[in-house]
Amino acid sequence: MHASELHRVVIVGGGAGGIELATRLGDSLGRKGRARVTLIDRSRTHLWKPLLHEFAAGSMDLDHHALDYLAQARWHHFRFQLGEMDGLDRWRKVVQVAPTFDEDGRELISRREIPYDTLVMAVGSQTNDFGTPGAREHAISLDTAAQAERFHTLLVNACIRANAQPGPLAPEQLKVAIIGAGATGVELAAELHKTTRELVAYGLDKINPEKDVQLTIVEAAPRILPAVPERVSKAAAELLRGLNVRVLTGERVTEVRRDGVTTAGGTRIPAELTVWAAGIKAPEFLKDIGGLETNRLNQLVVRQTLDTTRDPDIFAIGDCAGCPWPGRSRDVPPTAQAAHQQASHLAHVRAPAGGQTDHALALPRFRVAGIVRGVLHNRQPDGRAVRRHVLRRGPVRALHVRLALSHARLRAARLRQDAVRHAGEAHHAAHRAARQTALAAERRQALRRTVECPPDSLRVPNIMKRAMRCHDFGSGREASRSQYLEYW
């Protein structure tokens, strides 16, 4: 089939759901020439969003976990387009992509339009500050790798500044306020407790982490981790207090300042760094884009089959999709597990051209508790120890392993040339050894043929006589034919 006649599948957003769907469709359709799969993303590399709190705390290195979209596209038979979607023309079936600029502000790629037959929106979400005064100016969100790296830099600078200054610490110095006690906020607090103590061990002798570093979590709900069972929430709260993390529940933040936050109850929390991890919403450009139905969080409203309510050729997955959850009074939660399941569903059940599929998405129970246990100092709610990084061994292990092909594949690409060279050297060495073994075997076989001749036809060479004289055979005399035969 000619390339212009192939069905065009365009996926916007290379997050947890988008990159998995592009990889699966590329392997199943792109490789066989049955469809043309294109992934659009504003970044050059993919980073698994649930790990951003570890990059922010300094527990992981960004460079070791980034997956290059161009490399992934080459390996899995889809195309990658660098750019940010900013418009949609449903009648002409084209995605409008804004121009791309380099680090110096020069235009790298001009504005363009990308046609589609099937469109999948997987643009993820961003932090929702609910219009809180000062939140956008003074609080840091953890939506992108750049924001996580910025927070880590500010944290290290704060410790260096506090260690170098001659006077006492200000009330807000080395204090961190985390707004929101969901999975991100709780995990970040646990990671910061560990990494700040490791950081001060590198020569920052004036800082006492037990006394000077203070972590505070502020949650408007009655308990932390409101999405998990109450017993897990209580156990997590006890573990946080055991780590000397201050937990404030039932407190709604009304203002964020440069040196702290204020709650509706009048509580003043001094903080040098403030992280906003309370609530999410879909990107602003999705609001009523192309006449599609959206909810109050800018999410595209979809059916249980993941197609949008007003266009059967447009699908949405992940955090940007408002997907109904059968048997529940709310939509499917915006988690990596949901994005993984939705991507798997679309990869296996695709709608016919111009129509809907009758296969509904079945969503099993989400095990968020497994993620929480892994970060709270390796303890389960009943107090038993668990192995580190349960996040990579829990219900999202399969997705994490697939996307962590970043590390393995990129390292394999760098080492492939050395491996081929070493393999060639090993092959030549093995060939030489085999040749030497064969020659030795041939010499032994020829010698056996000579020895097996009748005794009267055997004429012992002079060199063998000398060798046998050296062995002496216990007599010191020249060996006889029978001794020669017995020796060999």
CATH code, 3-125+282-366: 3.50.50.60
Tell me what pLDDT residue 7 has: 93
Mean pLDDT of 424-447: 69
Q: Provide the pLDDT confidence category of residue 288 given band limits of 50, 70 and 90.
A: confident
pLDDT of residue 360: 57
Question: Which of the 8 DSSP states describes residue 332?
Answer: P
Instruction: Classify 402 as helix, strand or coil.
Output: helix
Report, as an integer, the average pLDDT of 13-29.
Answer: 94
Q: Calculate what percentage of the chain has a pLDDT beyond 70.
A: 73
Q: Is the pLDDT of residue 71 over 80?
A: yes
Task: Give 386's pLDDT tier (boundaries 50, 70, 90).
Answer: very low
Same fold, 3-125+282-366 and 135-279: yes
User: Which of residues 363 and 283 earns the better pLDDT score?
Assistant: 283
| Per-residue pLDDT, 448 | 56
Average pLDDT over residues 100-119: 94
Say yes or no to pLDDT of 198 above 80: yes
Per domain, the residue ranges of the chain are 3-125+282-366, 135-279, 459-488
The winner for highest mean pLDDT among 8-12, 359-363, 439-443 is 8-12
Which pLDDT value is given to residue 309? 94
Q: Compute CA distances 168 → 26, 89, 208, 212, 225, whole Å.
A: 59, 60, 13, 11, 36
What does the pLDDT average to over 210-221? 94
Count of alpha carbons within 13 angstroms of residue 102, beta-carbon side: 4
Q: What is the pLDDT of residues 446-484, one digit of tens each?
A: 655 544 444 443 343 444 444 444 444 444 444 444 444
pLDDT at 418: 58
Task: Kindly indicate whether the domain formed by 135-279 is annotated with CATH number 3.50.50.100.
Answer: yes
Confidence of residue 376 (pLDDT cuts 50, 70, 90): very low
Q: 188-192, 212-216, 258-262, 379-383: which range is least confident on average? A: 379-383
Residue 470: what pLDDT?
43
> Residue 447's pLDDT is what?
57
Mean pLDDT of 395-417: 49
Question: How does DSSP assign 146-201, residue by residue?
Answer: HHHHHHHHHHHHHHHHHHH-SSPPPTTTTEEEEE--SHHHHHHHHHHHHHHHHHHT
Q: What is the mean pLDDT of the chain?
A: 80
53 or 400, which is more confident? 53
What's the pLDDT tens digit per position in 23-43?
A: 999 999 999 999 999 999 999
Q: Give 389's pLDDT tier (boundaries 50, 70, 90).
A: very low
Cα–Cα distance for residue pair 162/207, rounded to 1 Å: 7
- Residue 440: band (very low, low, confident or very high) from pLDDT cuts 50, 70, 90: confident
- For the chain, percent of residues with pLDDT exceeding 90: 56
pLDDT at 468: 43
pLDDT digits (tens, 9 = 90+) for 321-355: 999 988 888 899 888 889 999 999 998 865 444 44
Give the model's pLDDT for residue 137. 94
The residue whose two tokens read 């936050």 is 261
Average pLDDT on 263-289 reads 93
Say how far apart CA 340 and CA 68 lie, in whole Å: 19
Mean pLDDT value across residues 344-369: 54
Average pLDDT over residues 304-308: 92
Q: Per-residue pLDDT for 413 more than 60?
A: no
pLDDT in the model for residue 450: 44
For residue 286, give the DSSP letter.
G
Residue range 46-58: average pLDDT? Answer: 90
For the CA atoms of 226, 231, 236, 237, the dihedral, rounded to the nearest 10 degrees, stands at 80
